[in-house]
Amino acid sequence: MADISIDAVAKRYGDTTIIDRLSLDIRHGEFFTLLGPSGCGKTTLLRMIAGFVTPDEGRIVIDGQDVTRLPAHKRETGMVFQDYALFPDKTVFDNTAYGLRVRRFSAADIKHKVGQILDRVELGHLQHRYPGELSGGQRQRVALARALVIEPRVLLMDEPLSNLDAKLRIQMRDVIRQLQQELDITAIFVTHDQEEALSMSDRIALLRNGRIDQLDTPEGLYARPGTSYAADFIGAANLIKIDSVQSDGDAGHVMVNGARLTLPQQEIDGDVCLAARPEHISLRDAADQGDNDVPGEVIYRRYLGFKAAYSVRLGDGQTVTVDVYSAQDPVYAPGAKVALRFESGCRLVRA
């Protein structure tokens, strides 16, 4: 268990900046996720902590020890690779025992520890299989066991679920999260999948071009995105252009397509837009339009079982997606004139 401090770390390849003087602190026992699209620098940052990439500047401190220049094999981090990186010529047992043998544990200790961790990931009965004889999910669990058995200071995971099929992926989320809680280990998890990040993490750092766009709890990130980037990356959000912002006392007002919307007061400057998640907008007949509603026209309706997703065109041509739960769906046909009501939860974000 460790706390990790990343201090103004930067990495450049030629003219491209991969990590741009990034700082963050990770607490003891925390499940911390680095989230972002490909090319945002999340994997590079993880590999810096593991020691496979040397930062151009800045420091990385684990448990008060500056490891910036410590070789990778002396860092005591346990890494789970995207392709698992199991040794194909070694059995499940030998793969798991590899790190223990390096640390010169006795044969009896190794047998005990390996047996224990493999039982924990439900692979006790497959110890003598080779990686080639395992399913994707089983390989994943061997990789996890191999990294955990050495009792690393921190568990590093580089998109470990991306090679699994959808159902297994959801199952493995719980396995990893439970194991992390049980062993009370600090974990850093890299993913581009926002659902994975939301469901597993204590905190999430959303990365963008080598910087942190927003660092928050899953709930905070979802409910209070600070930027249009965050609002769009975490869950889907309609980013609606606004005509003007007015502020009077406790409430803020924005003008959208001529309608005046009232929003909770927010301190925000610069260019802003309205982030409205599809589930935070409701639809009603144009005839029932209220004072704060925006008029629109249904373009098409996608039926998804538990809900229907409408595409609605506003007067100025912007298209807005609106989710309606099937039980409440009035079933508007394309061309229907409707009114959109922006419920609480919609907020202003930096464009």
Partner 1 sequence: MVMATLTAPVWRRTLSPWFFPALLCLAIMVVLVLWPLTTLFYQSAVDPQTGRASLAGFRTFFQDPTYTQAFINTVRLGLTSVIGTLLLGAPLAYVVARYEFPGKSVVALLPLATIVLPDIITSQAWLMLLGNNGVVRLALEDFGIYLPSFYGWFGMSWVLILNDYTYVYIGMLAALKAIDGSIEEAAVNLGASNLRRALTVTLPVVAPALLINAMIVFTLAVDNFSIPMIVGGRVDVLSSLTYTTFLSEMGGNPTMQSVLAVVSVLLVGFVLFVQKRLVERKTYHMQQGRAPRPLKTRGLPAIFLTGTAVLFVAFSLVPATIVVLGAFTKASGPVMQYGTFTLENMERALRYAPQPIFNSLKLASVAAVAGTCFAIVASYLIVKKRMWVVSVLDYVVMLPLAISGTVLGIALIHTYNSGFIVLTGTWVIMAAAYFVRKVPFSIRSASASLYSIPDSIEEASINLGVSPVASFFKVVLPLMKPAILAAAILMWVTSLAEISATIVLYYGGMETMPIQMFRQIDAGYLAIASAYGVILMTVILVPVYLAVRFLKLDLFSSG
For partner 1, how many residues bind (rule: CB under 8 A)? 40
Can you tell me which of 20, 59, 232, 345 binds partner 1, judged by CB under 8 A? 59
Can you tell me which of 102, 251, 286, 331 binds partner 1, judged by CB under 8 A? 102
Can you tell me which of 81, 175, 193, 220 binds partner 1, judged by CB under 8 A? 81
d(CA 221, CA 316): 30
d(CA 61, CA 292): 52
Told to check if 303 binds partner 1 by CB under 8 A, we report no
**Choices 54-62, 108-116, 272-280, 313-321 (CB under 8 A): range interacting with partner 1:** 54-62
Told to check if 91 binds partner 1 by CB under 8 A, we report no
Told to check if 167 binds partner 1 by CB under 8 A, we report no
Can you tell me which of 16, 27, 65, 103 binds partner 1, judged by CB under 8 A? 103
Longest alpha-carbon distance in the chain: 80
Query: Regarding beta strands 337-342 and 319-325, do their DSSP bridges make them parallel or antiparallel, or are they unpaired?
Result: unpaired
Told to check if 68 binds partner 1 by CB under 8 A, we report yes
Closest CB to partner 1 among 77 and 201?
77
Told to check if 48 binds partner 1 by CB under 8 A, we report no
Measured from the CB of residue 60, what is the shortest distance to partner 1 in angstroms?
10
- Dihedral (C-alpha) 303, 307, 311, 315: value to the nearest 10 degrees? 140
Told to check if 57 binds partner 1 by CB under 8 A, we report yes
Measured from the CB of residue 189, what is the shortest distance to partner 1 in angstroms?
16
Which DSSP state fits 72? G
Told to check if 23 binds partner 1 by CB under 8 A, we report yes
Told to check if 77 binds partner 1 by CB under 8 A, we report yes
Closest CB to partner 1 among 34 and 79?
79
Q: What does the DSSP assignment read for 164-187? A: S-HHHHHHHHHHHHHHHHHHT-EE
Query: If we measure between CA atoms, which residue out of 232, 315, 311 comes closest to residue 274?
Result: 232
Q: Determine whether 107 is exposed, middle or buried from the number of CB atoms within 10 Å of its CB (0-12, 13-18, 19+).
A: exposed
Measured from the CB of residue 170, what is the shortest distance to partner 1 in angstroms?
24
* Inter-helix orientation angle 136-148/166-183, to 10°: 20
Told to check if 55 binds partner 1 by CB under 8 A, we report yes
**Residue numbers 133-152 binding partner 1 by CB under 8 A:** 146-147, 150
Can you tell me which of 13, 14, 64, 88 binds partner 1, judged by CB under 8 A? 88
Range 181-201 burial, b when 16+ CB lie within 10 A, else e: eeeebbbbbbbbbbebbbebb
SS3 annotation, 29-46: CCEEEEECCCCCCHHHHH
d(CA 318, CA 320): 7
Binding residues for partner 1, rule: CB under 8 A, are 7-8, 21, 23, 50-52, 54-59, 68-69, 71-79, 81-89, 98-99, 102-103, 146-147, 150
